[in-house]
Amino acid sequence: MAKHKKQPRPKAVTPKGFRDYFGAEVTRRADMLARIARIYHRYGFDALETSGVETVEALGKFLPDVDRPNEGVFAWEEDGDWLALRYDMTAPLARVAAQYRNDLPSPYRRYAMGPVWRNEKPGPGRFRQFYQCDADTVGSASMAADAEICAMLSDVFEELGLGGDYIIRVNNRKVLNGVMEVAGIGGPEHEAERGIVLRAIDKLDRLGEDGVRALLGEGRKDDSGDFTKGAGLDDEQAGVVMGFMGALGADGAATLANLDRLVADSEVGREGVDELRQIADLLAAQGYGPDRIVIDPSVVRGLGYYTGPVYEAELTFEVTDEKGRPRQFGSVAGGGRYDDLVKRFTGQEVPATGVSIGVDRLLAALTMKGRFDDAEDGPVVVTVMDKSRLAAYQAMVSDLRKADIRAELYLGNPKNFGNQLKYCDKRGAPFAIIQGEDEAARGVVQIKDLKLGARLASELSHEEWRDQPAQFECRLEDMVSEIKARLG
């Protein structure tokens, strides 16, 4: 070794934009995903796990004539082929649906859960690897497929203990297309205007009604003074588009009647309203009322991307934003219908609809709502007073584990007993077991109740605390049952 030139030591850091997950961060997510998977499975959806790596060609979305794929994905050349990490679950589904089209059932219901990678500038809470949890139905044009996704999403929230705290809103791109026709920008010569309208309404949340109305008209100057050219609609035209987003009525029937009136003169518009009506009827037949799933034309997110029904799930409970103001928790899932999934590969149009759950946001919501068992998860720690009796201590640990109690033998250097107690503290151990020579001779152990000890120490004066030490002695053969009883 001494012959080698001295190398600088490598830095022990996660790459920029990536992070590590420890303990409960991992297991809570796994638990949540397992519960979601059970619902998906009950609905007939089959698991699909593709690998993290795809060919750039299959992923698509790259400029064909540049040497280096553009930003957004992690890609590299391998023996002349470009490979890349998947950036979502939909692109691999498209590849699978095309590759196995003769073997898969049709329609094909599938779910997928796992990490995806984005080569984007990381920001606070924005990482370059994160989880997605998708469910899609490929090969069905039926509105029952869309209604089913919404019902399933509702069941997921109920299963996760969020009943009463969520709402799923449904809208339809075809109704918007009808609205554009009625507003006089339906023809192929108005593609540019329609593009501006789509981008404008997608900003409703951010810009508010006035901002969107400005973009529908002449244009809008933002706070920095930059001017964004508008779609050039006159007030009447813009009013039709704004009427669409404001068409929510007192109940589903009223909303649908509003939309009926709005797009009466457009075939595609009427088709869209009819699709919404079918979805509403299918959901009503299953008992999903408007308190859980509602037809709501103000859902505009994704309208530019999807081709038919669009749905978005919001959590409605209140949180405090970074400025201390109360606001609703907001969106945790979204999806809709898209018909070009497999076409890139096969030339055939295959209808598909699906939803993606934002795993990290949903997990954050469950944590805020206290939906995780916060009972002590730390192990019972058997300390080492007498190194020569290691086998006896190990047997105690083994007995605890056999009773399904999380337990550890202290495996560090036992010389300094204070370090052993510090370790217990770091581990969140509810109990420490102590047995010295004297206790061993008498066939007993000392059980230190560390949670009680910490509470007493903070609540009582030193004198009182001394009189109520959170430590007691019990016979070795009673140790497991004593601990079990106290863990509850």
By the 10 Å C-beta count (0-12 exposed, 13-18 middle, 19+ buried), 332 is classed as buried
List the one residue out of 127, 122, 132, 125 whose CA is nearest residue 52: 132
What 3-state class would DSSP assign to 229?
strand
Closest CA to 409 of 396, 422, 427: 396
Residue 46 contacts residue 109 (beta carbons within 8 Å): yes
Residues that bind a copy of itself (rule: CB under 8 A) add up to a total of 104
Whose tokens are 């998977």? That residue is 37
Minimum CB distance to a copy of itself smaller for 6 or for 323: 6
What is the token pair recorded at 139? 């090969």
Q: Does 83 bind a copy of itself (CB under 8 A)?
A: yes
Footprint on residues 419-448 left by a copy of itself (CB under 8 A): 423, 426-427
Coil, helix or strand at residue 157: helix
Token pair of 456 as six digits: 């007493």
Question: What is the nearest approach in angstroms of a copy of itself to the Cβ of residue 41?
Answer: 6
301 labelled ligand-binding: yes
Query: Does residue 118 belong to the site contacting a copy of itself (CB under 8 A)?
Result: no
| Residue with Cβ nearer a copy of itself (49 or 463) | 49
Q: Is 416 in the site for a copy of itself (CB under 8 A)?
A: no
Does position 55 bind a copy of itself by CB under 8 A?
yes
Task: Work out whether 409 is an interface residue with a copy of itself (CB under 8 A).
Answer: yes
Residue 132 annotated in ligand binding: yes
Structure tokens at 147: 């209604």
List the one residue from 70, 72, 115, 305 that touches a copy of itself (CB under 8 A).
115
Give, as ranges, the residues between 164 and 223 that touch a copy of itself (CB under 8 A).
Answer: none
Q: Are 233 and 185 in contact (CB under 8 A)?
A: yes
Least distance to a copy of itself, CB of residue 46, Å: 4
Site string for a copy of itself, 344-363 (x = CB under 8 A): xxxx----------------
Q: Residue 132 corresponds to which tokens in the numbers above?
A: 């997605």
Whether residue 351 is preceded by a cis peptide bond, meaning omega within 30 degrees of 0, is no
In angstroms, what is the minimal distance from the CB of 479 to a copy of itself? 15
Pairing of strands 227-229, 326-338: unpaired
Which of 89, 118, 128, 273 contacts a copy of itself by CB under 8 A?
A: 128
Tell which one of 132, 140, 177, 237 touches a copy of itself (CB under 8 A): 140
CA distance 350 to 99: 13
338 binds a copy of itself (CB under 8 A): no
What H or E segment, with its residue span, contains residue 215? helix 204-216
Pick out residues in 249-308 that bind a copy of itself (CB under 8 A): 278, 281-282, 284-287
Our CB check for a copy of itself shows the closer of 117 and 338 to be 117
Among candidates 80, 113, 255, 283, which has minimal Cα distance to 171? 255
Query: Residues forming the annotated binding site?
Result: 88-90, 118, 132, 136, 301, 305-306
Query: Residues forming the annotated binding site for L-histidine?
Result: 88-90, 118, 132, 136, 301, 305-306
